[in-house]
Structure 1
Amino acid sequence: MPSPVSSIRNLGPTSDASYARAGITSAEALRDLGPDAAYARLLAHGSRPHFIGYYAMVMGLQGRPWNDCKGAEKTALRARFDAIVSAALADDTAPPIGIEVILDTIGTGLRR
């Protein structure tokens, strides 16, 4: 039987719903995708970019506490995060993320 995403260190019950919206329904599926592909999928399904959420997941997949990320490792993860977010924002076929979701929902259209 598959384990819930929230069985991974640093990821709580709310994570199960967020990851499920992106089609990631188990800890095993998350591990198979890897952190960068999984985070890109979260963004593609409307999750708001959040660096701490990203590196908490990365640390959790390594079995480490979220606050174990420091120094050069954190700087390198920030560069990976920024690249993932930039790619998501550049994808014209992806649904809007962040404030863009709200603007689209209330009918004002996407911010230009």
Structure 2
Amino acid sequence: MSAAVSSIRNLGPAYETACTRAGIPSAEALRQLGADAAYAKLLQSGMKPHFIGYYVLVMALQNRPWNDCKGAEKKALRKRFDAIKASSFDADRDAFEQMMDQIGVRPAP
């Protein structure tokens, strides 16, 4: 049986719902993807980018407290976040297009 995404430290029901919407059904699937690929899928499924949400995911997959990210590590994560956002989030896509993507009417980007 698969463990729920919310079984991972720092990730609650809202993150689990977002993961399910993005096609990430379990904690195992999330761990296998890794933080960067999973966050890209979350953005592609319509989630709005937010740096804290990204680094919470990174910390969660390392089993660290969400606020453990500081200094040079946080700056490096910000660069990774910016790159993922640039390649996976289209701010010009309207809500209707996002919904069509979520239900699979349009091919994935």
CA deviation string 1:13-62 (max 9, x = no partner): 11111000000010000000000000000001000001000000100000
Q: 1:101 Cα deviation (Å)?
A: 3.5
What is the number of equivalent residue pairs in this alignment?
98
Judge conservation of contact 1:46–1:101 (CA < 8 Å) in 2: no
CA deviation string 1:47-98 (max 9, x = no partner): 0001000000100000001100000000000000000000124xxxxxx55x
What do you get for the CA RMSD once the two structures are aligned? 1.8
1:109 paired residue number: none
Whether 2:66 is the aligned partner of 1:73: answer no
Q: In 1, Cα distance between the equivalents of 2:47 and 2:34?
A: 17
Whether 2:5 is the aligned partner of 1:12: answer no
2:106 paired residue number: none
Gaps in structure 2 of 5+ consecutive residues: 99-109
Q: 1:103 Cα deviation (Å)?
A: 8.2
TM-score by length of 2: 0.83
Among all aligned residue pairs of Structure 1 and Structure 2, give the percentage whose two residues are the same amino acid: 61
Gaps in structure 1 of 5+ consecutive residues: 90-95, 106-112
2:57 paired residue number: 57
SS in 2 for 1:15: helix
Q: In 1, Cα distance between the equivalents of 2:94 and 2:48?
A: 9
User: Match for 2:94 among 81, 93, 101?
Assistant: 101
Q: In 2, Cα distance between the equivalents of 1:101 and 1:10?
A: 30
Q: In 1, Cα distance between the equivalents of 2:86 and 2:42?
A: 14
Q: In 2, Cα distance between the equivalents of 1:62 and 1:43?
A: 21
